[in-house]
Amino acid sequence: MKKNRLSVEEYIQGVIDRDRVILSRAITLIESTLPSDQKIAEKVMEGILPHSGKSIRIGITGVPGVGKSTFIESFGKLLVEKGHQLAVLAIDPSSQKSHGSILGDKTRMESLAADKRAYIRPSPAGSALGGVSAKTRESMLLCEAAGYDVVLIETVGVGQSEIAVKGMVDFFLLLMLAGAGDELQGIKKGIIEMCDALIINKADGENVEAAKRAKREYANALHLFPAKENGWYPKVKVSSAIAKTGLEEIWGMIEEFKGKMLFNGFFEENRQDQRINWMHDHIRFLLESRFYQDELIKGKIDQVLPLIKSGQQSAIAKARELVDLFVLNQIGRGS
């Protein structure tokens, strides 16, 4: 009979040996919400940790329709042709009611998905902050341990996903469209401040001139922002995934960025800060999980929901009561 789960050692060795099947099973393991799987996953992550961290991590975001998947496929093909091993973690929007997910990125990146030098893993966003999979960080480390030296993380491009992804990558790309209204008014200042480069995508056919104008406008706008803490000034580039233009220049820019960050020490400093933030994020995740899984709390929530819905009692007061009850219950259990 086929085993549902490998041993911790089999997972670790399989990932290190670059077994794509075991890598996929390891990512499925860490995405599991079963407590028994979570314990195994923690041991697997500890085992692969020394083999991770050797990639360049690139976040890619943009509004739906900007052409992220097509861009990633063309950009990814360029990278593998240069000899890189590429992993793409594509975060798909999930339904908050059915918890279903489209998971269509492998279809949209059909050519890249068929390339053995690339590994594409679509993951449902679930209820994680801003549509970013709660397990994206772990998936990224597993891919690095499996020898992938470039990791692309694609966000759903809505809500707070940009903030979450920025906190786990080395370089952050924002894809924009030209001619979609007033470009400078249509972009959030906060996102510009986060991005390391702004790419005017779909610069082909009749859009070429509009893309060039948009590039000038964005470049002028970016001059109003001070240099980032790491000394990098965000750049504006123009690309076409279909015409395969601008992609070499974008990769050259990323290599330039990495070289400068390694030289001034910010590359490792940034990753150290991200590891600390990861710990705090996971603490919040674990506390919330334990809270809602507590049987006493489940019962109490069912009791107070009608009172809060009807406006008879304060949601804030009830939230505090539930948290206090949870803490006392944990103390009583000695946990």
CATH label of the domain that carries residue 2: 1.20.5.170
Average pLDDT (221-248) is 88
Strand partners, 150: 56, 86
Please give the pLDDT value at position 155: 83
Structure confidence at residue 218 as a pLDDT band (50, 70, 90): confident
Residue 271 located in a structural domain: no
Which CATH number does the domain housing residue 204 bear? Answer: 3.40.50.300
Residue 273 located in a structural domain: no
Task: Return the axis-axis angle of helices 20-31 and 8-16, rounded to nearest 10°.
Answer: 130
Q: Using the predicted structure, report yes or no on whether residue 103 has a pLDDT greater than 60.
A: no
How many angstroms from the chain centroid is the CA of residue 136? Answer: 6
Per-residue pLDDT tens for 121-130? 987 665 554 4
- Total domains in the chain come to 3
Average pLDDT (42-53) is 96
Structural domain including 218 reads 52-264
Please give the pLDDT value at position 229: 87
Q: Of the segments 45-49, 68-72, 91-95, 280-284, which one has the largest average pLDDT value?
A: 45-49
Distance CA 285, CA 45 (A): 17
Residue 222 located in a structural domain: yes
Asked if 198 and 74 sit in the same domain, the reply is yes
Structure confidence at residue 260 as a pLDDT band (50, 70, 90): very high
Asked if 124 and 34 sit in the same domain, the reply is no
Structure confidence at residue 305 as a pLDDT band (50, 70, 90): very high
Asked if 145 and 213 sit in the same domain, the reply is yes
The stretches of the chain forming alpha helices (DSSP H) are 8-16, 20-31, 35-48, 68-81, 105-108, 110-113, 136-145, 161-166, 189-194, 208-222, 247-264, 266-293, 295-309, 315-333
Q: Are 80 and 73 in contact (CB under 8 A)?
A: no
Average pLDDT (59-71) is 87
Least confident of 2-6, 113-117, 139-143, 277-281: 2-6
Q: Which residues contact 6 (CB under 8 A, 6 or more apart)?
A: 14, 22, 25
Residue 192 has a CB neighbour count (10 Å cut-off) of 17
Distance CA 90, CA 136 (A): 9
Average pLDDT (16-39) is 92
Please give the pLDDT value at position 185: 46
Q: Using the predicted structure, report yes or no on whether residue 149 has a pLDDT greater than 50.
A: yes
Please give the pLDDT value at position 107: 58
Average pLDDT (47-59) is 96
Structure confidence at residue 282 as a pLDDT band (50, 70, 90): confident
Model pTM score: 0.87
Please give the pLDDT value at position 1: 38
Asked if 203 and 258 sit in the same domain, the reply is yes
